[in-house]
Amino acid sequence: MMKRLTMVACALGLTLAVQAQETTLKPIKNNATTTVKNQGQSGTCWNYSTTSLIESEEIRKGLGELNLSEMFAARNVYIEKAINYILRQGKAQFGEGGLGHDLIQATEKYGAMPQEAFQGASGEIPNHTGLAEALKSYLDSTLKKRPIANNWLQGYMQLLDQKMGTPPASFDYKGKNYTPKTFAKEVLKFNAEDFVSISSFTHHPYYKQFVLEAPDNFANGSFYNIPLDEMLALTKTALKNGYTVMWDADVSNIGFQQRKGYAMLFADESDAKKDQLNPDAKEAAYSPELRQQLYENITTEDDHLMHLVGLDQSDAGKLFFKVKNSWGAVGPFNGYLEVSEPYFAINTVSLVLPKAALSKELKKKLNLL
């Protein structure tokens, strides 16, 4: 995530009190997921949300419930960011943020491990205050001398060990010893090709891949571009069919109300200021054109990544996406919130989901068959 406002909100995830409120929503589909985590003082929502997606996939595939190490993945992505930053001579994004595909690609390259094997230097709830700044300072110092030192990466890894902890080269899990790569292959049955990244914008052709213009897309990852109505239909159908979805969205607007349990595109902002939100409050209209306008004028940004795990419905029949956040047990729904279809349509930046969740028709359009 990028915005300072979002980072402050992440910190508040440790302290916000749970506000009593009874939901009037009726469940349509609840998919299995692991417990709500707390990303603490770290900007690694991309990591928590996509790790949660993988954990839910493990359950869906009948492989059991796992608690994977987010900090092992975060550390590995910092290695990828450093190499990218050096090769681009400092003309690249370097910070805590990332996108869902970063976790997917890091798991493919470096493997994975359970939380019990490595939780990072600052403990169960991470505190990365000053981490990105210290790492970037090292890289900037490295770039001042040309040619750069051949052992710069070794020094960088030592700094990572100091700041984030040193993950084990191998570990025991359920009576068997694994390396991160063998754990990903044998336990997770992980394959990066099983996942697909989706978005919807009008400045690129539909049914083609494009590089998402977002600061945190340091890896220049490609996304399949589909029409807005198809992105909505895909997400709803995937959830109904038992799949879950990583959700990248803008959350710095008045409609995102984690403390009150909802995110809605309120037609009247006064409705967003009430102590208890009405899920059947009137919402503003949405369209691909409005969505594009808000993205191009930098109103909509990739602030925060979460995990879509189900579908609920209000008394009046409005559809809501059930979202698992990574700010701890915050709000009336203990770390979950309900996101309306209009809010989702306007504020979604990108999705990551299992390729198997796509229909044959959509796979054909995207040349994925």
Residue pLDDT, tens place only, 295-333: 999 999 999 999 999 999 999 999 999 999 999 999 999
144 pLDDT exceeds 60? yes
Read off the pTM.
Answer: 0.94
At 7, which amino acid appears? M
Residue pLDDT, tens place only, 239-253: 999 999 999 999 999
CA 107/CA 102 separation, integer angstroms: 9
At 99, which amino acid appears? L
Residue pLDDT, tens place only, 6-53: 443 433 344 344 444 455 799 999 999 999 999 999 999 999 999 999
CA 121/CA 159 separation, integer angstroms: 12
CA 295/CA 251 separation, integer angstroms: 13
Mean pLDDT of 70-87: 98
pLDDT of the residue at 268: 97
Mean pLDDT of 347-368: 98
The verdict on whether omega for the bond into residue 215 sits within 30 degrees of 0, i.e. cis, is no
Helix (H) or strand (E) holding 209: strand 209-211
* Sign of the dihedral through C-alpha 271, 338, 67, 43: negative
Mean pLDDT of 140-165: 97
Question: Can you read off the two tokens belonging to residue 142?
Answer: 């490295």
120: Cα within 13 Å, side-chain hemisphere: 23
pLDDT of the residue at 23: 52
Class of domain 4-365: alpha beta
